[in-house]
Amino acid sequence: MSSCSPRELPFRLEAVRLPRAALPQSGDFAFDSDAFAAVDMAVDEHGMIASLRPSASGAGEWIGYPSLIEPHTHIDKAFTRARAYNPSQSFEGAREAIERDRATHFTFADAHLRMYRALSLAYSHGVVAVRTHIDSQPDRLEPCWKVYEQLRREWAGRLHLQAVVSLGSAKLQGEHGELLGRLAADHGALIGPVFYFDEQLEANVERAFELGERYGVDLDVHVDENNRGHANGMKAILAHLERKPFRGRMNLSHLCNLSRCPPEEIDALAARAAALDLTVISLPVANLHLQERDALHTPQWRGITAINALRQAGVSVALGGDNSQDMFVPWGALDPLVVLREAMLAAHIAAPLGEAVAMVSSAPANILRLHDTTRLHVGQLADFTLFKSHDAYAALSGDFVERLTLRRGRVVARRVWES
């Protein structure tokens, strides 16, 4: 006998509203203007989805969201904001603050506590996979890479973890680049230089691809993350790839100043990126906080890449949270649904909410090369988020009675409004 409560297995949900991004592509679902459909779902005693069919009974009391992916964060620095205060809140101020903080605080125990907490938060928000960048300058490999290895063991079966070696691209030259190539290959990690718009740009792009090719790892780079250039890093990457194909995958993170190019140029660059199968991870919260902060005025440019044009050209775009409560970004609790809301608002994403949610579920799953479990179907584990709320937008606005994170059909996190 199954109950109608998602608090005990087995259970049934009547007319739960689910987004198109979470449902099988085939199926006779009737979507509303937000691209949500009412669905009757049953979850069996093993926490598997036993049935999933269009509901005849209209709207029930739950709104569902699929399992979520955090494709770009920096958990090695998470939760350092108060102790590593950045008075100017600028990039430069953040760089100085991290230097000071690293010299005085970064022990294995400190890093483990913060990185573990970051993963716990992500897990509580329904995240099933996290890709984190880890600072990897010559003198900074430890303690965070050792912590990362331990975290992979501690979270095995609950969170899939991927890491990216992160550092200024010039530091990939020479022996340290080879060392990082081996490190990435050994950890199933990626190479993730930060490209700057300078006279070394082309040489640094060349070097990153050379290492990716030699060590058989993918690249996920910070590029064009400022208000000065006009997609110069992206242009260098496109030109390189059009000359010399790369066997691995290439993801462009941030890509802020693409949106400073004229519209025709954006479309042309997006088409070239699509033809090369490049993917993009946009980090709207970090961009809103950091971009144009160096000017003493209210910013007019939002700092976010041209998400709509990229998607329209066929580029897969995912959304990430980036830094969380550190010297770079004081906001963030590793909740992709909050990031989605901010992106919808700041970037005027031209898709209904029920489709846009793919940018924090199936799109990042593909970018991370994961078997995509974000679309629910019969026989799959019941991993998803439920809001007891009257509306999909209301749920993401904080207008809900209860938020449940389910893994294998069991509630693993619960936020509740005690009225």
Residues 314-353 that bind Zn ion (CB under 5 A): 322
Q: Is residue 411 helix, strand or coil?
A: strand
Instruction: Please give the size of the binding site for Zn ion, defined by CB under 5 A.
Output: 1
We find the least distance from the C-beta atom of residue 359 to Zn ion, in angstroms, to be 17
We find the least distance from the C-beta atom of residue 64 to Zn ion, in angstroms, to be 29
We find the least distance from the C-beta atom of residue 76 to Zn ion, in angstroms, to be 11
The residue among 98 and 396 lying less far from Zn ion, judged by its C-beta, is 98
Residues 84-123 that bind Zn ion (CB under 5 A): none
Q: Which of these, 301, 292, 258, 400, lies nearest to 341 by C-alpha position?
A: 400
Alpha helices in 187-262 (DSSP H): 201-215, 232-243
Compute the C-alpha angle 218/172/108, nearest 5°.
Answer: 85
We find the least distance from the C-beta atom of residue 274 to Zn ion, in angstroms, to be 23
Q: Which of these, 131, 107, 117, lies nearest to 79 by C-alpha position?
A: 117
The residue among 70 and 322 lying less far from Zn ion, judged by its C-beta, is 322
Alpha helices in 106-197 (DSSP H): 108-124, 144-154, 175-186
The residue among 322 and 326 lying less far from Zn ion, judged by its C-beta, is 322
The residue among 17 and 222 lying less far from Zn ion, judged by its C-beta, is 222
Neighbours of 258 (CB within 10 A): 28
Q: Which of these, 78, 212, 76, lies nearest to 145 by C-alpha position?
A: 76
The residue among 254 and 403 lying less far from Zn ion, judged by its C-beta, is 254
Displacement of CA 411 from its chain's centroid (Å): 23
Residues 120-139 that bind Zn ion (CB under 5 A): none
The residue among 224 and 322 lying less far from Zn ion, judged by its C-beta, is 322
We find the least distance from the C-beta atom of residue 74 to Zn ion, in angstroms, to be 6
Q: Are strands 410-416 and 402-407 parallel, antiparallel or unpaired?
A: antiparallel
The residue among 60 and 71 lying less far from Zn ion, judged by its C-beta, is 71
We find the least distance from the C-beta atom of residue 144 to Zn ion, in angstroms, to be 15
Task: Mention every residue, 6+ apart, whose C-beta is less than 8 A from residue 19.
Answer: 34, 35, 36, 64, 65, 66, 353, 354, 355, 357, 392
The residue among 238 and 255 lying less far from Zn ion, judged by its C-beta, is 255
The residue among 197 and 384 lying less far from Zn ion, judged by its C-beta, is 197
We find the least distance from the C-beta atom of residue 128 to Zn ion, in angstroms, to be 20
Q: How far is it, in rounded angstroms, from Cα 178 to Cα 222?
A: 20
We find the least distance from the C-beta atom of residue 222 to Zn ion, in angstroms, to be 6
Q: Which of these, 236, 151, 158, 200, lies nearest to 412 by C-alpha position?
A: 158
Joined together, the tokens standing for residue 28 give 């006779």
Question: Cβ(320)–Cβ(70) under 8 Å?
Answer: yes
Q: Which residue is nearest to Zn ion (CB)?
A: 322
Counting Cβ atoms within 10 Å, is residue 97 exposed (0-12), middle (13-18) or buried (19+)? buried
Question: Cβ(39)–Cβ(53) under 8 Å?
Answer: yes
Joined together, the tokens standing for residue 11 give 């259970």
Compute the residue count for the chain. 419
We find the least distance from the C-beta atom of residue 166 to Zn ion, in angstroms, to be 7
Residues that bind Zn ion (CB under 5 A): 322
